Chain A
């Protein structure tokens, strides 16, 4: 087991190194930060001096190894644009993104699960068909369109929810939460809804497919033969057997949601990591971009490793390689 974990960790480090390497390759093509750091009146000499002092004139491999060495020690440098410590900046914004993702995930489960069950057991009814059809729209609509649509209806026309921002926040140690204030709770509704729409359809379709599978199995037939009420069969016996893949998928999707929340965050001016990243791109703020990609890669690698290790604990066959 120990060898397995060490191997996983080694793989994780390798993945992160390659992500950083690729990221650095891309950065060479995003442009020159110095042009935006100095204003129109700066002279050529001042521009060159700054470029040198930032280490941007160093050869690519030197820049990369410097970054990798510092990053390994937890030092991502300071932002070109905001002149703040990068890790602190990302740390300050992580709670906003994380809360958004968690609320979106909860919404997707609370809405997606029942819808999946209903579309499976009443699959020939008109409303199940309609829901199936609508879910295609949910999957295919780009999230910025959904976001703008929600803002138009619920902020501009109805005036129920704020169009942007996070409302008032409360600090719990280093974690700032918007969930404890009324304005914070109002503010999270639209972005979370917009982020969860894709997730809802995913959960719904997964549950439906699993349910159809399970409903054909012998123990369900047996339960029906024993005269167990169908409500109990559906929601207790069948649904419980569907949950395993749903839970796995939801856990894995948290990583993607964190990574892809950036569109939603931009539309709703949600002060999270994604917004930070998008703005870093426009200003060619290399330290922020590099750190963000590393951290998102880390989240993915971490979730994958945890899932793999759990599987290894559950399933002895996966541990075979140590022999």
Chain B
């Protein structure tokens, strides 16, 4: 009787799983359970590197990163700097878009025009761009506003459209949300990339199949990608365990042991490029109107000395993070080991420093954190707050969703705040120097939320912006980062962990340091 019932259950289960898995046949399918949906099929629609990364399977740029994050040729085969401000690109011949149209210089120009149009949210991705001209069908000149060494890095994120397709569908300009009109490219895609868009149902699935006519020799043997967003992390892990999906690119830290324990599931871990750090208010007064003690270097030293990074690494991050002394991760150009030296924890010395600075009893200040921007951020902030209270400081914690906290952080509503910086999409220390550490003026220092100003650092940053010699430029950047470290402009904490889970159907699944899945390197069994 019991046996009979069990067989029946097993049979039912078998039937059900056959029904669920009906779509997966002999084809090699990556069933990608993503933490969130992409916002659009149009790579120029929203300043969102995640969307651009997923769309990179369909669209390609002139250059791309290889597995070691070195630049390599993609739609452009070679490039040279012909005058200080002009770059000449030779384009790859014989490439076709998914609709069969040939790729040539007109497409590059149309794409650059589109991405730098007045209403384009991605305009900032090509900060120094001036104009582009066609030399012949397979040669393009790109002119910059001044000498600018990082054009290639920027171009990895400028995905190329087909001009004829843009014109045919009347979408040569990016969608203007303020104007309230939809664009054709929001729902459709036509690139040159390794995968072709088959269908898309927002919030449910985006299906891509391998491009038979891809110009590159495919390393992968994937026939099909089924991209399915599953926002609830518990559901995502459950779906991975039940085998409905075979790849998740954001496995929650607290579930890693569970996933590791499961048969057929492998967890791939490494640390992210994103460095999480604390920013400090450097205006005359604190948010509550008191005089700001944090303008005193001794106070900043005391605050840094009180934070036990090892303890955070071990307890809050469960041993998965990498404690940081520098503001950029080791693989970012501009990093040196000297910059990365950690500060020793010394509670007594910190108290002394506070006393020397004239605050023997500490002071209170507003500590603004979000609850979902970074891994285990709430616990992280609570831990830091209690470490600070050990030396007599009185941080008042204010934790909330990012959308709510960002205006406070950006508009002088925070004394201490968390911020993470990965230098994406540029992948160079210049990104953090110009965007965060530089004095807030003109277009620089957008993320200088504390209001500091170090003219010497600004000078070095500007010099780096115009230095075409790589070694010299990195030297200048390192020097600027050294100022930031000595003056404790920011307090670096760690590079957070990044964990993927894949099923045992995969032979090879490279995990890139920038955390972006590039499935054209994936091999299945």
Contacts and interface: CB of A to CB of B under 8 A. Distances in A.
B182 A47 contact: no
Nearest to A186: B19
A186 to B, nearest CB: 6
Interface stretch (B238-246, B324-332, B351-359): B238-246
Nearest to B408: A31
Interface residues of A, number: 65
Interface in B10-24: 12-13, 16-17, 19-20, 22
Contacts of A38: 47, 121, 124
Interface string B443-460: 100110000000000000
Contacts, number: 196
B402 interface: yes
A40 B427 CA distance: 12
Interface in A43-102: 43-47, 50, 53-55, 77-85, 89, 92-93
B121 A43 contact: no
B435 A84 contact: no
A186 B20 contact: yes
Contact of A39 (B119, B122, B235): B122
Contacts of A155: 238-239, 242, 244
B406 A182 contact: no
B46 A266 contact: no
B446 A156 contact: no
A135 interface: no
Contact of B242 (A156, A169, A271): A156
Q: What's the interface size class on B, roughly?
A: 35 or more
B284 interface: no
Interface in B422-450: 424-426, 431, 435, 440, 442-443, 446-447
B431 A39 contact: no
B178 A29 contact: no
Contact of B178 (A43, A50, A81, A159): A50
Interface stretch (A118-126, A208-216, A277-285, A307-315): A277-285
A222 to B, nearest CB: 47
Given A39-B122, A151-B235, A159 B406 contact: no
A166 B20 CA distance: 11
B48 interface: yes
B37 interface: yes
A152 interface: yes
Contact of B125 (A39, A85, A89): A39
Contacts of A78: 177, 180-182
A183 B17 CA distance: 10
Contacts of B405: 31
Contact of A29 (B123, B244, B404): B404
Interface of A: 29-33, 35-47, 50, 53-55, 77-85, 89, 92-93, 148, 151-152, 155-156, 158-166, 169, 182-183, 186, 266-269, 271, 275-276, 278-279, 281-284
21 contacts: A31-B405, A35-B406, A37-B121, A46-B123, A50-B121, A53-B178, A89-B202, A93-B203, A148-B234, A155-B239, A161-B20, A163-B238, A164-B236, A186-B16, A268-B232, A268-B235, A269-B203, A269-B230, A271-B201, A279-B37, A279-B231
Contacts of A31: 401-407
B6 to A, nearest CB: 12
A96 to B, nearest CB: 9
Given A31-B402, A37-B121, A38-B124, A159 B202 contact: no
Given A37-B46, A50-B121, A266-B232, A82 B39 contact: yes
A166 B204 contact: yes
Contacts of A40: 47, 421, 424, 431, 435, 447
Contacts of A163: 235, 238-239, 242, 244
A51 B443 CA distance: 16
Interface string B117-140: 001011111010000000000000
Given A151-B234, A163-B238, A269-B232, 18 more contacts: A31-B401, A36-B403, A40-B421, A46-B121, A53-B176, A53-B178, A54-B178, A78-B182, A82-B186, A83-B186, A92-B202, A151-B235, A159-B17, A159-B243, A162-B242, A165-B204, A279-B203, A283-B403
A30 B404 CA distance: 5
Contacts of A151: 234-235, 238
A282 B400 CA distance: 12
B103 to A, nearest CB: 26
Interface in B178-231: 178-183, 186-187, 201-205, 228-231
A67 B421 CA distance: 36
